[in-house]
Amino acid sequence: MRYEFSARAHTLLSSPLLSIRTKTRRGTLISLAEELPAEELFPLSLLAETASTVISADAGALQYGDPEGYGPLREWLTGDWLKAKGVAVAEGGVLLTTGSQQAIDLLSRVYIDPGDRVLVENPTSPGILQALRMQGAVIIPVQGDRDGLLPEHLRTQIRQHRPKMLFATPSFTNPSGILWSLARRKEVLELCTGHNVLIVEDDSYGDLHFQRYGQHPSVKYPSLYALENVSEGGHVLYIGSFSKTVAPALRTGWAAGSRELIGMMAAAKQMADWQSSSLNQRLLHHLLDVTSFDLREHIALLNREYNTRLKLMAELLKRPAWKSSTYSLPEGGMFLWVSLPTGLDAMALLKASLAKGVAFLPGPLCCVSGGGNRIRLNFSHPGRDELLLGMNLMSEAVTEFTARS
């Protein structure tokens, strides 16, 4: 039969992200394209033990659970862990989701009607753009610099477009790796609260702060949620994930904020999939609360290794092939965001790189428009040898491309 898809379904297929992912999954490519954590650092043996213990102990671990997520994990999260970041959450103010992406999608579904104006950082994550397009939002980019969104431009866009929301990742924006300054955080929060703009703050990368693993980064760079410091009726929905800090296959992210928002998202979650895996949530809770696993120490370990990989990648970018390319070295996160010289088009370079056996994420996937001379390189997943090989192949592709043009 001839299938009649919905009007916006086609926005989903316009992205080349799908085919890049399929190819890199097949293992035929070195991928600098994705946002995968280093799997050699997963707490494998502790989790294997945890799984055996949790499943043996209680048949309830395999039963349906609450749409809001496993209670003890929600308590663990909103207890010391978020409190230490200055994030105060009321009871009933947190929802466990299938990764942070589901939190973004659920909020979009309950908050955005087609035609609603939504502000985003530009560039921003492809996942945010896809969710907004599927919801029919009019996406309005806000300009930024190395310190975060530009308050003047934010003010102009708010006045001109009267947006409902702002999506922001103040700590290590995907893909640019920008860490907003404290002053910018305060200015953006003030502008949004003054104009009734809901801020969706994705803090999935905030813990991957390489330079300050001795001191808690949230002291100097508090989240917008912590800055507003209102647990009911506030302007910030705070989103995070265990995917980058423990393991992605547990598919556990969260949204925290006002009970009114969380209640509506929980209702949408029940409609969307009843609930995420309560088994995975119990595994996480047991790992975090019962075993010897220490999440702070584990994050420090990740940060030491990721910092090393970032420095290696930066070294490799000093080679002649990249002499006209520029980037800022991020203080954390998982990505380097590189500007190519004029004439070197990201999509054309991707084609040449794929032929060599290496993938990266082309800038246009992260941008409301433009981005054609930018590329996103992931440094957290490839081991050092793979990183070396991948960057060698990319350098070859760049050199050949430059010689031709």
- Which is closer to a second copy, CB of 109 or CB of 186? 109
- Is 121 an interacting residue with respect to a second copy (CB under 8 A)? no
Binding region for a second copy (CB under 8 A) out of 8-16, 80-88, 293-301, 311-319: 8-16
Peptide bond into 126 cis (omega under 30): no
- The structure tokens 């803090």 sit at 203
| Residue 240: strand pairing partners | 254
Strands 165-168 and 117-121: parallel
C-alpha distances (whole Å) from 402 to each of 343, 351, 370, 383 are 8, 14, 21, 28
| Residue 166: strand pairing partners | 119, 199
Helix, strand or coil, per DSSP, at residue 138: strand
Write each residue from 275 to 314 as x if it is in contact with a second copy (CB under 8 A), else as -, in one continuous string: xxxxxx----------------------------------
CA 345 to chain centre: 25
**How many residues touch a second copy (CB under 8 A)?**
87
- Is 271 an interacting residue with respect to a second copy (CB under 8 A)? yes
Residues 209, 280: Cα–Cα separation, whole Å: 26
Binding region for a second copy (CB under 8 A) out of 13-21, 206-214, 350-358, 389-397: 13-21
Strands 236-241 and 165-168: unpaired
Asked if 335 and 175 touch (Cβ cutoff 8 Å), the reply is yes
Count the neighbouring beta carbons within 10 Å of the beta carbon of residue 106. 23
Count the neighbouring beta carbons within 10 Å of the beta carbon of residue 19. 11
Write each residue from 150 to 189 as x if it is in contact with a second copy (CB under 8 A), else as -, in one continuous string: --------------x-------------------------
Asked if 86 and 182 touch (Cβ cutoff 8 Å), the reply is no
- Which is closer to a second copy, CB of 182 or CB of 264? 264
- Is 227 an interacting residue with respect to a second copy (CB under 8 A)? no
Please give the residues from 189 up to 208 whose contact with a second copy meets the rule CB under 8 A: 193, 196, 198
Residues 231, 91: Cα–Cα separation, whole Å: 9
- Is 64 an interacting residue with respect to a second copy (CB under 8 A)? yes
The two three-digit tokens of residue 329, written as one number: 């070295």
Q: Which of 30, 32, 33, 67 touches a second copy by CB under 8 A?
A: 67
- Which is closer to a second copy, CB of 169 or CB of 280? 280
CA 379 to chain centre: 15
Please give the residues from 32 up to 61 whose contact with a second copy meets the rule CB under 8 A: 34, 36-37, 39-40, 42, 44-45, 47-49, 51-53, 55-56, 59-61
Q: Which of 251, 286, 309, 376 touches a second copy by CB under 8 A?
A: 251
- Which is closer to a second copy, CB of 145 or CB of 232? 232
- Is 248 an interacting residue with respect to a second copy (CB under 8 A)? yes
Q: Which of 78, 102, 173, 303 touches a second copy by CB under 8 A?
A: 102
Binding region for a second copy (CB under 8 A) out of 129-137, 169-177, 307-315, 354-362: 129-137
- Which is closer to a second copy, CB of 227 or CB of 349? 227
- Which is closer to a second copy, CB of 44 or CB of 84? 44
- Which is closer to a second copy, CB of 194 or CB of 343? 194
- Angle 11-13-14 (CA atoms, 0-180°, nearest 5)? 70
- Angle 324-209-323 (CA atoms, 0-180°, nearest 5)? 10
Q: Which of 84, 138, 183, 267 touches a second copy by CB under 8 A?
A: 267
- Is 356 an interacting residue with respect to a second copy (CB under 8 A)? no
Binding region for a second copy (CB under 8 A) out of 107-115, 177-185, 203-211, 319-327: 107-115
Q: Which of 23, 109, 155, 212 touches a second copy by CB under 8 A?
A: 109
Q: Which residues make Cβ contacts (< 8 Å) with residue 12, sequence separation at least 6? A: 130, 134
- Is 264 an interacting residue with respect to a second copy (CB under 8 A)? yes
Asked if 45 and 374 touch (Cβ cutoff 8 Å), the reply is no
